[in-house]
Chain A
Amino acid sequence: MRKDLLPIVILTPIIIIGFFILYFQQLHTDVLYFLYWTERVVDGARLYVDIKDINTPITFYFNYPIILVAKFLGLSVELTFKVFVVNLLFGIIFLCKKILSYSALSSKNMIYILLVLLLVFTLSGWDFGQREYLFSLLATPFVMVRIIYVVQKNFKLPIWPSLLSGLLAACGVGFKPYFVLPLLVLEIYIFLVKRNIRTFFRKECLSLVFSIIFQIAVILWFLPGYLENFLIGLQNYPYYVTQGHLFLRFETLLLIVSVVIFFYEYKKGISGQTSRILFLLILASWVAGIIQTKGFPQHYLPLRFVSLFYFSSAIYRSLGSRIRNDTTITKDFLTSLLLSLMLLTFWIQETKALNPPLSVSSTEYKLLVSLTKEKAENQKIALISTSFYPVVLFVHDANVGWATRNTNFWLVPGFYKNVDSREKPFPYHNLPK
């Protein structure tokens, strides 16, 4: 068999399995939350007026066409979302292929890169469709354009892929302001390498900046309520306590291994610009996860994506040198380590996708749905809780409606702990002994 076909033969079945899992897996609670709030927007509720939320407008409006299509075709919202995001993924892969076709890479290398992208975004586990997922996906063409710009002299790209990559990255940043950090680090690095201010005035960069400014203008003009919601969230959300660790977590292992690989390659003099940029993106994504201070797994998703891509490129280079009989025991050991770590990451992600922590197939969920259906079908219920059970799905499954506009009390911990001691609206509570 031709050796250049090996990546296709190995990766294609894994990607197909990934799509099967994706079809059956439950969407993340946050994704469901945004989908069903958007459904209310489609039905006439005013975002940031009737629906109080800290999240950016694009988080909801991204789902708008999905809800419309689901309603029009009579499909479930979850399935329509999955199909929509998978189509977006293929659109991004197509755009990346177009961008790569202007690079000096061989077709063999291009196929490998595209397959790895497909693999990483398909086997993303429970975080499929999360804001971090969408940011990483939408920013990929931009990052690709910028890497080729650094690596390849006289790199010229037609106007439409350049502008589109900037526009898509700006949409990605729109999901969470934190996402600007990795892109900022990337641009600073490129400036330091090129030592030319004109590096910022390339089409993709201008498109990125103007698209971000346009989003801000749209928010200020059409959705002024967002600012107030954002400020309320900003004052109270820091007090929201989670059980997630910032440092003692699996992603730290990915970070440490990335550091080891980077310094190994650097010492051996085989660390190219692509490796350096990917390594910087890993560090910046890690910092972007840390500064959110909550330790939610999805906050580290961009780090996982870039690490996996970094590892796969290191494995590919190592296998290449093996074919040329230019290998050492250390190199083989590191390659095996990276391969094992990649497999472990996919395994953890997919296991979680099939057994999510807030599963609708759990006994707890089923009991609550059956009880609610029995006692209150077609009537209204109220939930006074901060628990982020998939309540939005619960209401659908139990066929009930909301009695209160505030369906989740996530702001209350902030109100409670951020209390002005002079006012004391209610007494402080001590921890139980």
Chain B
Amino acid sequence: MSKYEYEFFDSTIKDLVVSTPELIFIQTGYYKAGFGLSTFDYYEYLSQDIRFVDLLKQYDLLRKMYELDILIKK
């Protein structure tokens, strides 16, 4: 992972862990703006960091709508 990508990645995880938002919207679906048609998966991408995996345990899936997973804090 490049320095810039790691900074972006790490700061995102850090912010999520520190502020544990009430809702997390995660984009799903094969078509994603910027990616085009791709199986890129945000869960897989962010789960490379154990902190994100642990964070997800604090959330339930509230709803799936408009190619978004909406997670709510337990």
Binding site for B on A (CB under 8 A): 52, 232, 235-236, 240-242, 364, 367-368, 371-372, 375-376, 379-388, 400, 403-406, 409-413, 415-416, 420, 423, 425-426, 429-432
Contact = CB atoms under 8 A, between A and B. Distances in A.
Contacts of A379: 21-23
Given A406-B11, A430-B39, A431-B38, 4 more contacts: A381-B24, A400-B23, A415-B4, A416-B40
A386 B41 CA distance: 12
Contacts of A382: 15-16, 21, 23-25
Contacts of B68: 385
B30 A415 contact: no
B24 to A, nearest CB: 5
Given A381-B25, A388-B33, A406-B11, A431 B5 contact: no
Given A381-B24, A384-B42, A416 B11 contact: no
Contact of B8 (A242, A376, A415): A415
Contact of B39 (A406, A409, A429): A429
Contacts of B20: 403
B23 to A, nearest CB: 5
A410 B27 CA distance: 12
A432 B39 contact: yes
A241 B34 contact: yes
Given A368-B66, A386-B33, A425 B24 contact: no
Contacts of A409: 27, 34
Interface string B45-63: 1101000000000000011
A386 B35 contact: yes
Contact of B62 (A364, A375, A388, A415): A375
B1 A423 contact: yes
Contact of A241 (B5, B36, B39, B70): B36
28 contacts: A242-B33, A242-B34, A371-B70, A372-B23, A375-B72, A380-B22, A381-B21, A381-B23, A382-B15, A382-B16, A383-B25, A384-B12, A384-B24, A384-B27, A384-B42, A385-B32, A388-B33, A403-B19, A403-B20, A404-B19, A406-B12, A410-B34, A412-B34, A412-B45, A415-B1, A416-B35, A416-B40, A430-B39
